[in-house]
Amino acid sequence: MRQRKVNGGADGPSDVTDAPAVRRTFSEPDVTGDGGRSNSSKEFQKFVDDSATGFRSAVDFEEKPRQVLYGLVLLLLIAFCAIAEPFELTDEGQACRFAMCASLAVLIVYGVLNTKDGIMVRPHPAFWRVLHAWNLWYFLIVVMLAVVPPSKGIIVVRWALGISDPEKDQSESMGFDHLTCAITWPNVKRQLMSIWFAAHVIGWWAKMLMLRNWTLCMLWSTMFEFLELSMQFLIPEFQECWWDSLILDYACANMIGMIAGYLTMRFLALSGYDRSSTPLRDEQGHTDMKRMVVQFTPYRFLSYTWNPSGDPLRSLLVHLGWQLPMLAELNSFFLINVFKLPRGHPFNYLRQFFFLFMACPAIAEWYWYVHSEKGRIGHDTWLTFMTVLVELMMAVKYSMSFNTFRSYAPSWDIAIPWIISSSLFSVSFFGTCYHYYVLGKDRTSKPAWLLVVKLLAVVPLFALTRLWAF
């Protein structure tokens, strides 16, 4: 049976300039400032609709089903491993890791052959099916760890990650030399050359490409700094020198990453090369190398206008789009402390790597869920959000069982700024809801005091900056 080929397609919205405040319908052309070129929002919406009901969304080639062939190969491999036992598994840890790898391989084969496509089609739809299969595999593992007693689950974790002496492994990689706060060239150079500075730059480059919005990126960056200050009583690594946090991380690394992401967006949006219609091979069967490189760029690069109508409830959905990925970042530190993982353990890097890629289709699907009227969340978004939330649930359960943290309640000097900030934001939000839903007025006629209260909600959080190390 031949797979259906869908005309049109996208890996997310187009030009990087902010769209007008008015919400456009999908039938209107998305006219950009790129010298007369334009991308059709209607075309992209059609692709989203087709991918929601269709099974395959390849736009560059025609896929042929191989379920029977690869199913037989998979069965033979499983039978060979079950009967011949080709690998010598000398302890429980090796057996556990081998079983987990076998289950991951099965899920990947199943995902590539039978999972429906999302809205991401480049470099190949199968690439995103593999990531979805990995996400499902990791989600199932997290669910199993969440429902078993922590005393049993921690054994599986140590088997799976190969940790024999967690206290020794973690203590050797901890180190708090970043709290040497004298502003000297050796101290500054050490922080600039650390893996964390590069991680900040790369991370914010990727986040700008995913969110495609300066306001949301700046809000995410600012709130994460406040969260680091607020959660030092839980996670000691969050305590930083004031100049390291404010200047090197926030003002330098984060901004460098955002600017690099913005420039990348400009290149992808304004490039004159036609990414959609040029075939991979010419009539003689020769591969076009420039076209091959373009295969690793989005099919369409359209701009994100997250909340053009000013709808307050839609605004909450928009903010969930960056708050849950931020929670995934926090989970990284929770897992390190709960399971006493060495900071250089491969799990830390692999988890970040895969979640970074999973966020690409998840945020793209979330954008179209927020703006569409269909009310169906994309399968990548649903699975990613569920994984993050269950992972947090599991981390909290294990930390309470093992008394990982001395206290789970912040002191009043941390709680009070957040209480005041939340109260002011609530006044602004419910006032906006009354203005929008009850009075039926749009955001252009919103009273100025609501905006003032919203801006003032951030002010109490600056009291947390006294918690920096000086």
Q: Can you read off the two tokens belonging to residue 84?
A: 């011949």
- The closest of 287, 298, 264, 300 to 123, measured between CA atoms, is 298
Q: Same structural domain for residues 23 and 69?
A: yes
Least confident among 40-49, 134-143, 173-182? 40-49
DSSP string, 272-285: -S-TTTS-SB-TTS
Q: Residue 418: what pLDDT?
A: 96
pLDDT tens track for 358-402: 998 999 899 888 887 777 888 999 999 999 999 999 999 999 998
- Report d(CA 459, CA 470) in Å as an integer: 21
- Report d(CA 89, CA 331) in Å as an integer: 32
**Letter string b/e over residues 325-354, b meaning 16 or more CB atoms within 10 A of that residue's CB:** bbbbebbebbbbbbbbbbeebebbeebbee
Total length of the chain: 470
Collapsing DSSP to helix, strand or coil, 304 comes out as coil
Asked, for residue 219, whether it belongs to a domain, the answer is no
Q: Answer with the one of 393, 408, 423 that is the final residue of a domain.
A: 408
341: left (phi over 0), alpha (psi -120 to 50) or beta: beta
Least confident among 218-222, 284-288, 417-421? 284-288
Q: Can you read off the two tokens belonging to residue 343?
A: 């900071």
Confidence tier at 100 by pLDDT (50, 70, 90): very high
Q: Same structural domain for residues 434 and 378?
A: no
C-alpha distances out from residue 94 to 74, 152, 162, 169, 341, Å: 22, 17, 8, 19, 18
Question: What total of structural domains would you count in the chain?
Answer: 2
Q: Can you read off the two tokens belonging to residue 41?
A: 């929002």
Q: Residue 28: what pLDDT?
A: 31
In terms of average pLDDT, the best of 272-286, 337-351, 413-427 is: 413-427
Q: Cβ–Cβ contacts within 10 Å for residue 37, how many?
A: 14
Q: Residue 21: what pLDDT?
A: 33
Q: Same structural domain for residues 469 and 397?
A: no
Cα radius of gyration rounded to whole Å, the chain: 24
Q: Same structural domain for residues 162 and 284?
A: yes
Confidence tier at 52 by pLDDT (50, 70, 90): low
Q: Answer with the one of 369, 393, 408 that is the final residue of a domain.
A: 408
Q: Residue 54: what pLDDT?
A: 61
Q: Same structural domain for residues 285 and 297?
A: yes
Q: How far apart are the first and last CA of the chain?
A: 68
Can you count the helices (H) and strands (E) in the chain? 17, 2
Asked, for residue 149, whether it belongs to a domain, the answer is yes
Contact 4, 55 (CB under 8 A): yes
Q: Same structural domain for residues 277 and 403?
A: yes
The C-alpha angle 150, 156, 157, rounded to 5 degrees, equals 80
Asked, for residue 208, whether it belongs to a domain, the answer is no
pTM of the predicted structure, to 2 decimals: 0.82
Query: Which residue carries 């390190």 as its tokens?
Result: 336
Q: Same structural domain for residues 44 and 168?
A: yes
Domain that holds residue 469: 409-470
Section 278-290 average pLDDT = 61
pLDDT tens track for 196-212: 899 899 999 999 999 98
Asked, for residue 229, whether it belongs to a domain, the answer is no
Q: Same structural domain for residues 32 and 171?
A: yes
Q: Residue 144: what pLDDT?
A: 95
Q: Residue 175: what pLDDT?
A: 47
At residue 442, does pLDDT exceed 60?
A: yes
At residue 118, does pLDDT exceed 50?
A: yes
Alpha carbon 135 to chain centroid distance? 12
Q: Same structural domain for residues 299 and 388?
A: yes
Q: Same structural domain for residues 396 and 455?
A: no
Asked, for residue 291, whether it belongs to a domain, the answer is yes
Query: Which residue carries 């087709």 as its tokens?
Result: 50
Pairing of strands 37-40, 29-34: antiparallel
Q: Same structural domain for residues 316 and 448?
A: no
- The closest of 178, 461, 170, 467 to 335, measured between CA atoms, is 170
At a CB cut-off of 8 Å and minimum separation 6, what does 380 contact?
118, 128, 132, 135, 358, 361, 362, 365
Asked, for residue 399, whether it belongs to a domain, the answer is yes
Q: Answer with the one of 357, 381, 408 that is the final residue of a domain.
A: 408
DSSP string, 10-75: -SSBB-SSPPPSSPPPTTSEEEEEETTEEEEHHHHHHHHHHHHH-S---SSS-----HHHHHHHHH
Q: 409-412: list long-range contacts, CB under 8 Å, 24+ apart.
A: 410/230, 410/231, 410/233, 411/233
Q: Same structural domain for residues 403 and 418?
A: no
Q: Cβ–Cβ contacts within 10 Å for residue 4, how many?
A: 13
